[in-house]
Amino acid sequence: MGSVKKVAVLDYGSGNLRSAERALARVGADVTVTADPQVALDADGLVVPGVGAFAACMAGLRAVDGPRIIGRRLAGGRPVLGICVGMQILFERGVEHGHDADGCGEWPGVVEQLKAPVLPHMGWNTVEAPEGSVLFDGLAGQRFYFVHSYGVRDFPLAHPAGPPSPLAPPMVTWAEHGDRFVAGVENGPLSAAQFHPEKSGDAGAQLLTNWLDTLD
């Protein structure tokens, strides 16, 4: 393990920042919770958390110039990790209570209500990670902690079977609650998890460690 990695947790009024901060610190990161665009741009890794409604998160994100910060980091190949609604806002749009809201548009896809007999999907669930996943390395069969009623049920860019190409599409991890939904994405410098690694015990700590290990 090289030098300590500097990680910024983007504070855009979405709450749940301290548990993310603590979990990252526990696995050895030097963590700053910040709304300062320069600090967010300069960090080795940027974590975008999120709880609550998609549209409210997007409004908060725009208020701190979040979409531009995320876009600039990705353009420079600099890692970003979205968590829960922080994953959802990376997609094109969200539909909640019949209202459409634009997301960051890093990936095509719609965040919509899960088709499940019980919502929210709350508690521990297994995931189905693709072969070659870095985030889920060493985590086969582990359970992660979810709290959500919305998700991405169709990912048009998902990685096909077979060996990855140089321009590999995103690697997608799926989970099931009523039907299948996206539980994680790995796409070059952009990674995301629908569940809460910071509330997922040892498995979540291992996933955060795996992500820290990808930071330069």
pLDDT on residue 169:
83
Residue 104 annotated as catalytic: no
Contacts of 161 (CB under 8 A, 6+ apart): none
Residue type, 53: A
Lowest mean pLDDT among 53-57, 154-158, 168-172: 154-158
Residue 199 carries which DSSP code?
A: G
Percent of the chain's residues with pLDDT above 90: 87
Q: Give residue-wise pLDDT tens across range 124-152.
A: 999 999 999 999 999 999 999 999 999 99
Q: Considering the candidates 21, 106, 186, 198, report the single residue annotated as catalytic.
A: 198
Q: What is the mean pLDDT of residues 189-209?
A: 98
Residue 2 has pLDDT above 90, yes or no: no
Mean pLDDT check: name the lowest of 63-77, 144-158, 196-210.
144-158
What's the pTM value of the predicted model, to 2 decimals?
0.94
Q: Is 198 a catalytic residue?
A: yes
Active-site position among 121, 148, 159, 196: 196
pLDDT for 166 beyond 70:
no
Angle subtended by helix axes 54-63 and 66-75, to nearest 10: 80
Sequential DSSP letters for 38-105: HHHHHSSEEEE---S-HHHHHHHHHHTTHHHHHHHHHHTT--EEEETHHHHTTEEEEEETTEEEE---
Q: How confident is the model at residue 161 (pLDDT cuts 50, 70, 90)?
A: low
Q: Domains (ranges, CATH) in the chain?
A: 6-212 (3.40.50.880)
- If one counts every other C-beta atom within 10 angstroms of the C-beta of residue 215, the result is 17
Which one of 21, 57, 84, 112 is the catalytic residue?
84
